[in-house]
Amino acid sequence: MNDLRWWVDEIVADVRRAIAEQCGWPEAAYRLQFNRERMTFNDAAALVPYLHELGISHVYASPCMKAAAGSPHGYDVVDYGRLNAELGGAEGYSALAAVLHQHGMGLIQDIVPNHMGIVAAENAWWSNVLENGPGSPYAHYFDIDWHPVKTELKNKVLLPLLGDQYGEVLESGQLRLEYHDGAFFLRYFQQRLPLDPRTYPIILTHRLDELKDALGAESDELRELESILTALEYLPPATETETLRATERQREKEVIKGRLRRLAGDCQPIAEFIERNLRELNGTPDDPRSFDRLDSVLNAQVYRLAHWKSASDEVNYRRFFDINELAAVCTEDPQVFDPIHQLIFDMLVRGEVDGLRIDHIDGLFDPLEYLWRLQWGYVQALARAAHRRLIEQRTSSSDGPVSETLRWEAVEPRVLGELWRGLGGHPPPDLLLEGAPATEGDSPIFAADTGIGNATSAGPRKLGQSPVNAPPAAGGDHPTYRLPLYVLVEKILSPEEPLPETWPVAGTTGYDFLNMVNRVSVDRNGLHEMLKIYKRFTGQGTDFREVTYQAKLLILRVAMSSDLHLLANRLNRISERHRRTRDYTLNSLRLALREILTCFPEYRTYIRRRRVSERDRSVIHRAVAQAKRRNPARDSALFDFIRDVLLLEQPPGLNEAGRDERDLLVGRFQQVTSPLVAKGIEDTAFYQYLPLASLNEVGGDPVGGGGSVADFHAENRGRLEQRPGSLITTTTHDTKRSEDIRARINVLSEIPQQWRPAVNRWSRLNRRRRREVDGLAAPSRNDEYLLYQTLLGVWPLDPPDAQSWPRFVERIQGYMEKATREAKRRTSWINPNEEYDAAVRDFVAAVLDDNPKNRFLAELRAFEERVVDFGLYSALSQVLLKLTSPGVPDVYQGQELWEFWLVDPDNRRPVDFDRRKWLLAEIQAAGASCAKERLALARHLAENPRDSRLKLLVTWQALQFRRRRADLFRRGRYEPLAVEGFAAEHVCAFAWRRTPSAGEPEEAAIVVVPRLLARLASHSQEESETPWRPLGETVWRDTRLLIPALPPDRPLTNLFTGQTCPFDEGGMSLASVFSDFPVALLSNLD
């Protein structure tokens, strides 16, 4: 057992077993938003039996690392090394994982490697930077420009956290010095900032002569204080970055604090001396001169306090979007990557976590390298754990101590070499992955014939391949199935943008699917009419492309101006490196950069390691060409210079240091384009331009038109071929509207001829409720148009009673305040127009005044009554399409019932899980009792779509089927199905087929859903007192579904009704398929 080869084989085999024994790829995920008030780890554990009964395989958890106190979302992590105690801490998390495992379920954990919350009192890394400046061992953890253009900020961090101008805040007494445990701090309300220890003498020498007189010049306590002052004088400054001197500072400052703590604790006069000094330095609000010494203390710190509004121009640390409280971290540095991921790797090794979701992947410097480092880091963590187990086994046995040749440092190269060759694919050789063997030339990303350790009798098993997550037979051995770790990325794809094929991930978080499935229920022709109605109503004469250009320009001018300044400063340093480009001024570079950023057509490019793909080259050429066209009076050579810098072609003759600086600029440029698109389009233009608000979704296109069924099938096939493990979703914590709201608003595209007179009449009825603000009507026509769509979409199925009605009005008021401020036209978050905000708030209250004289409210309710059921049937179609399409279905918390939620924070409303448990048990009981009762329930729900059990029934049955027929969805073939006849364009259908082995019957499932039902009803409806339902022969007439040849002795059963659907060689009648239920999931083995 001391044989090196045996040890290597054992460790490699252990790693292979650990990956094979993982819970496997998800069948269906359920997103939970953790918070201390309504969803702790204990709360989630209590839900696990219900989720298992529903058909969920994995809980999909929001971030759970220690976040800022009271965080409602967890994306403001302050400590990557600890789980959030407010949620239950490590013990609670382990208990949740154990309950999940007891039910055969797993957990996908959302992690935030891009940024941190920077509440100094809670974030030890950031606090150390504020105390020690560039000399902090954590200074390189954050992207701080210590040498900005503004010389006053040299070696300082601008902290834009004040509620007013610095002088006003200072002289009002809101900034207070505090002493605690040997250290001095600055208090500003809840913020507590450390002071540079080199500035302690300003406090400790004040009135020192008085202290000498009180204690006596020869007292030991005075001598100790004077010794401390001498030590502080010789402490290396915060600007000292040389390693030994910086280390000395870190060590000695803590020694000094300890001495001061003991001295003040043992000597009451010195404690009182410090307390009185602080009182005097903190000043008196009625005496501005009394703050001079405090001002001197603050000016000597390594941070500069500023009004929060100054952040847009001068903040010199990179932020997450424009949020001052979230600082970007340099995850591209291995020294930063390791502590950020140590805990999550430990949790993966322990089996508490089965997969990861990476937040804001486009914010990272080099996403490709990060993702490979993540996969490789997980394998290394498994190997180290396996080695530790072997060591423990040896030391607890009678075999004696372990030879030095078998210590980890000795076996590591051999073990990692073996594991690397079986990684399921070699990363490109220019990646810098610790412990990875050197490779020559380009290796294929996915190697088809490499295994880990010794081959088994069945052939070599790929790392990450197991019976649970084996590749689908239809698609061959898909490379993403062989990755060690299941990883999803929050990557927003523009309409023509693919997910980079070299990324070692299962797929995205599903916004691409969301937008495609949403467009299926939008009428293309009707959308064109909706655009004309919108323009006439609002007077909006600008097309969406121009709106987005102006919106991004606004963001760069107001919210992300500092990001532009940081880029321009870096670019200026590069231009100074060559005599042909040194004459470009900083201002001209800034303006040209601004135009290129504003014209950028996609979220970002992925130039890395001095390699430029053809796609990235094309994107940059398009952006620069558009910037030139918009600025014909500017020197085109300047735009060409920036283009060539971004393409790594300029300036010529750079030395290695110059090329490194250019690489850094290009990387930082790429990190800016993504938040600019998000803030400019999703968080600004989408609130300015909304012909059909349901299309204004993350990654969506308001003018892209409805999606054809053929487009939907093409995208499904592409996902199955390229990323079969990708998440597919219809609602997330970031969506602007829940799936059920979007489906209802989509109905307007089918009835524009009814919408036009209605919305115009509503506006006339509400004319007197508007008022003038700044010489213009309030609300604006655009905001008013949004309000009417919003009310239509969010209107509850059960009319609010007298007690709940005010809360409903407050919800709409809160949403409209957020929407109008996001639009940034008449009001904004940075410059709130309180008069306009009040006018909109009062307008909402007036139009929703629930009294008989309010004709608008009566007409809105009548219009709502005409569209609500069509929206519900459309939403039901979306649900079934999501639950049966290629990919991993994701259910956002609570969305198994009808829910009409708006953008955050409205979508964080409490979920009534007790009601959901009760309703699911009721449905299960009906299904288990007898076929007659099952059919009766299905028919009742089909006729009463406002009953939330309709959505729950479809969700439960589809998820159960997906669980029972997992191989069909993993290994089966996806086949679009044609429809012919009267209502052919109103149907979307496809089949899953699989032949397990010779002699066994072919397994098949057919999914059929209706679409555009309001228009179908207008063609087929006769005068009737009963509500129109998409059921039976009077609706579907001669419409037929053409299906592939199936064994005639295997009937197709509709899982929702239990009824068989007859078919022949020509297909089946949709009048039969939709005889009792509005959607169909047919199976020949159930």
Q: Provide the pLDDT for residue 449.
A: 33
Closest to 362 measured CA to CA, from 602, 609, 623: 602
Mean pLDDT by 10 residues, the chain (1086 residues): 81 90 85 96 98 98 97 97 98 98 97 96 97 98 93 95 96 98 96 97 95 91 96 96 96 98 96 97 95 97 93 88 95 97 98 97 97 96 94 76 81 88 68 70 35 30 31 46 90 88 95 97 96 96 94 95 93 89 92 98 92 95 98 94 94 87 95 96 97 95 85 96 96 97 98 98 98 97 99 94 93 98 96 97 97 95 97 99 98 98 94 98 87 93 98 98 94 96 97 83 93 92 77 95 84 94 88 97 90
Give the DSSP H or E segment for 355: strand 355-358
Residue type, 245: R
Q: Report CA dihedral (664, 667, 673, 678) to the nearest 10 degrees.
A: -120
pLDDT of residue 99: 98
Task: Tell me the residue length of the chain.
Answer: 1086
- The C-alpha atoms of residue 707 and residue 716 are separated, in whole angstroms, by 13
Q: Return the pLDDT at 441.
A: 40
Burial class of residue 1064 in the structure, from the number of CB atoms within 10 Å of its CB (0-12 exposed, 13-18 middle, 19+ buried):
exposed
Cα–Cα separations (whole angstroms), residue 427 to 337, 423, 451, 492, 688: 18, 9, 16, 23, 43
3-state secondary structure of 612: coil
The span from the CA of 411 to the CA of 384, in Å, is 10
1010 vs 995: CA distance, rounded Å: 28
* Predicted local distance difference test score (pLDDT) of residue 467: 28
Q: What pLDDT shows up at residue 471?
A: 35
CA angle centred on 63, ends 58 and 66, rounded to 5°: 135
Three-state DSSP at 720 gives helix
Chain centroid to CA 245: 40
Cα distance between residue 902 and residue 676, in whole Å: 23
Select from 1017, 17, 903, 829 the least CA-distant residue to 456.
Answer: 17
Q: Reduce the DSSP state of residue 399 to 3 states and report it.
A: coil
Half-sphere exposure for 1025 (CA within 13 Å, toward CB): 0
| Measured distance CA(806)–CA(794) in Å, rounded | 15
- Distance between first and last Cα of the chain: 53
Q: Which helix (H) or strand (E) holds 93?
A: helix 89-102
Distance of CA 248 to the CA centre of its chain: 40
Contact present, 508 and 490 (Cβ < 8 Å):
yes
Q: Is the dihedral of CA 66, 68, 70, 75 positive or negative?
A: negative
Which tokens in the block code for residue 601? 């057509």
Ordered domains of the chain (ranges, CATH): 4-115+332-488 (3.30.750.90), 124-327 (3.30.1590.10), 523-533+689-891 (1.10.10.470), 541-664 (no CATH), 963-1083 (2.60.40)
| pLDDT score of 685 | 97
* Token representation of residue 748: 């307007």
